[in-house]
Amino acid sequence: MPMTADQSQKQTATLVDLGAIFVSLELSKSTWLVTALSPCSEKMSRYTITGGDIAGLFSCFGELRQKAKRRKNILYPLVVIQEAGLDGFWLGRVLSKEAWIESHIVEAASIAMPRRHRRAKTDRIDGETLIRALMAWKRGEPRACSMVKLLTPEEDDNRRIGRERKTLIAERVFHVNRIKGLLFTQGIRDYQPVNRDRRQRLDELRTGDGRPLSKHLKAEISRELDRLELLLTQIKAVEAERDALIVRETSETPKEATALLGIKGIGPEFATILYTEGLFRHFDNRRQIASYAGLAPSPWQSGNVNREQGVSKAGNPRLRATMVELAWLWLRHQPKSTLAIWFKERIAQNAGRLKTPMVVALARKLLVALWKYVSSGVVIEGAIMKTA
């Protein structure tokens, strides 16, 4: 019987001895599936552990090392891989504390998968796939998978400010629209819930047919205003924490964020998101930072087919959305900069069309320019700086 491609791949993956025990973790709320491949074995072994049981996990790792030692009299280290998911980075930090464990967190979308219309997917198959990807990555195969950088607790915590504010703003918009919608059904169009006189104005409102607001409707709107006022208070508190991190210069204020605030058109919110979501990291070249933001191009070339699919959108969505918004504002606040002039020339070549794709291209160029500015001090050509 001929050997299938999957069987051939499995044997090729298991017969390679890289001097370590390779372990993959499939994490869920209830159970953790541990898949292991030892240098002295040709088959992958599997163990099930209760979710969150760190002691049981290390006990399983110890058994794997002792079993391999009995066979080859070598106490092998462990190379562990897990997907970036609901558990975040805490487990990776716990494993990295041990000298005999090399922990990696992989971006799940970067692992090649079968392209069959109906492919089998189980935790067992995923565990084996993770081990094969990890071994290929350790052998130095290019593009085998993409590993996620393990953030420090401080870096991870700093990102909460911008993300929480975005959530609060979305909730504020929801409640404002809810109040306006309720009043619109009564013929009231000029009420602004975010104004300070919202309570007084509510008592003075009259419907389109000249009646005061009914009792239950007014009570419902009052409760919506209670929620809205709580959100406004929380937004102010979050913005105060943001200003303490970015605006007020102290010994703990990151110099990258302070440098961003010096550019006209970039305020505290943009500086916070740009720094905490991307520019605090180390990038080797402009392609890496564009790829991290999901602003890298994704061509489709095969034979005579050669077309551009747009940006990959495979990176940080918060950083990407912020850069596109900043690109529009850059045209307003920095009209004489080299990047703005480049954008206007390209639009003129297309007779004013394709503004949206060109703004995305401007966002990519602007992100690279800001990265060079905060990392190497390269001034953006033609940019206007804020006065002291």
Please report whether residue 385 resides in a domain.
no
Q: What is the CATH number of the domain that holds 85?
A: 3.30.420.40
Kindly state whether residues 212 and 90 are assigned to the same domain: no
133 with 18, same domain? yes
Per-residue model confidence as pLDDT tens digits over 188-240 = 999 999 999 999 999 999 999 999 999 999 999 999 999 999 999 999 999 99
Q: Domain end: 103, 125, 148, which one?
A: 148
Q: Which of 148, 170, 196 is the last residue of a domain?
A: 148
pLDDT of residue 205: 94
Check whether 22 has a pLDDT greater than 70: yes
| Residues 186 and 54 occupy one common structural domain | no
Q: Given a cut of 80, is residue 387 above it in pLDDT?
A: no
Please report whether residue 302 resides in a domain: no
Q: Which residue has the higher pLDDT, 157 or 5?
A: 157
In a domain, 197, yes or no: yes
Together in a domain, 36 and 111:
yes
Question: Is residue 275 a part of any domain in this protein?
Answer: yes
Q: What is the pLDDT of residue 109?
A: 86
Token couple for 270: 């943009």
Q: Return mean pLDDT, the chain.
A: 90
Strand-by-strand arrangement of the 147-148 sheet: 45-50, 31-37, 21-27, 78-83, 101-106, 147-148
The confidence score (pLDDT) of residue 5 equals: 46
Q: Are residues 9 and 135 in the same domain?
A: yes
Q: Are residues 56 and 162 in the same domain?
A: no
Show which of 245, 266, 286 is a domain's final residue. 245
| pLDDT value, residue 10 | 47
For position 344, what pLDDT does the model report? 94
**pTM, to two decimals:** 0.83
Q: What is the DSSP letter of 278?
A: I
Dist. CA 278–CA 105, nearest whole Å: 18
Overall number of domains in the chain: 3
pLDDT recorded at residue 16: 57
Q: What is the mean pLDDT of the segment spanning 273-291?
A: 92
Q: What is the CA radius of gyration of the chain?
A: 27
Q: Is residue 99 part of a domain?
A: yes
User: What per-residue confidence (pLDDT) applies to 18?
Assistant: 81
Q: Which of 82-91, 181-190, 322-331 has the lowest mean pLDDT?
A: 82-91
Q: Is 382 within the bounds of a domain?
A: no
Please indicate, yes or no, if residue 381 is contained in any of the structural domains.
Answer: no
Structural domain that includes position 24: 5-148
Are 316 and 278 found together in one domain? yes
52 exposure class (CB count in 10 Å sphere: 0-12, 13-18, 19+): middle
pLDDT at 251: 63
pLDDT band at 161 (very low <50, low <70, confident <90, very high): very high
171 and 54 in a common domain: no
Please give the average per-residue pLDDT across 101-120, as a whole number.
89
Q: Are residues 260 and 332 in the same domain?
A: yes
Does residue 387 fall inside a structural domain?
no
Distance from C-alpha of 266 to C-alpha of 253, rounded to nearest angstrom: 17
pLDDT digits (tens, 9 = 90+) for 236-275: 999 999 988 887 666 667 888 888 999 999 999 999 999 9
- pLDDT digits over 313-322, tens only? 888 999 999 9
Higher-confidence residue of 23 and 13: namely: 23
What are the tens digits of pLDDT across the range 74-89? 999 999 999 988 888 9
